Structure 1
């Protein structure tokens, strides 16, 4: 990761966003520990939100839509809220989901732009980043 300079003032902001991802990952895992639910379930479901990438098979616009709907913190927050009616299972799933999103942000995978999978709100990723 680059350092903050006069020519690159957003590097500090990107670092803060990645630290925010680390915090969300930590909170999701801590909540899951507190709930005392199965770690096998955690391991099995941790990467499930990435199935939303299949939307890219249809088009970049649809792929960005499906990916972003599943990779925003609003979705697991609503699921956790439903836990008031559904019970502890919803809390556990929300904790796994939050941990997944935090992990993605920590790695630099942000919400997708319609211009392509490698264009995120955190900057370029993958091959697009290496070409710069």
Structure 2
């Protein structure tokens, strides 16, 4: 049963309670699966280590404002985009493409398993998994 607090979060567009735990658990499973596939099919540790945090460069998109920043961040942290690119890499024989895609999927899953979800245009700290960080004096 949802508590009043969970219902309040749901009305704001945030996952809460057990649903949030399930989403974070799923992300952990995706992290494990994508990392396992990367190494099982011959991915190099150095490449994984160098590129794992590369998607966080997308935070620079916030220099163009919160709406553009959220759109850029979400595109780079999307499972769907990178899953399609991974399949395209396999079908075209592009080892580099599917390897980078699996690393980016692992990164997105890592972020979500820690509670850093996809961003709303309201600002960086507003995510589908709930607010992150400390509230600002304005209440953002």
TM over 0.5: yes
1:92 to 81, 86, 99: 99
5+ unaligned residues in a row in structure 1: which ranges? none
Paired residues for 1:7-46 under 5 Å? 7-9=4-6, 10-46=16-52
SS at match of 2:117: coil
Cα distance between partner residues in 2 of 1:128 and 1:82: 41
Among 86, 106, 120, which residue is 1:80 paired with? 86
For 1:32 and 1:81, the matched residues in 2 are separated by 13
The alignment covers a number of residue pairs equal to 128
Confirm or deny: 8 A CA contact 1:67 1:112 kept in the other structure: yes
Q: Distance in 1 between matches of 2:121 and 2:3?
A: 30
Secondary structure, aligned partner of 2:134 = helix
* Counterpart among 3, 27, 31 of residue 6 in structure 1: 3
| Residue 36 of structure 1, CA deviation | 1.5
Match of 2:13 in 1: none
Residue in structure 2 matching 1:103, options 99, 106, 110: 110
TM-score normalised to structure 1 length: 0.89
CA offsets 1:35-59 (integer angstroms, 9 cap, x no match): 1221000000001111111010110
Residue 117 of structure 1, CA deviation: 0.2
* Superimposed CA distance per residue, residues 47-77 of structure 1 (whole angstroms, 9 cap, x where no aligned partner): 1111111010110111001001111111111
Equivalent residue number for residue 48 of structure 1: 54
CA distance in 2, matches of 1:125, 1:86: 39
Hey, what's the Cα distance between the residues in 2 that align with 1:26 and 1:35? Answer: 14
TM-score by length of 2: 0.84
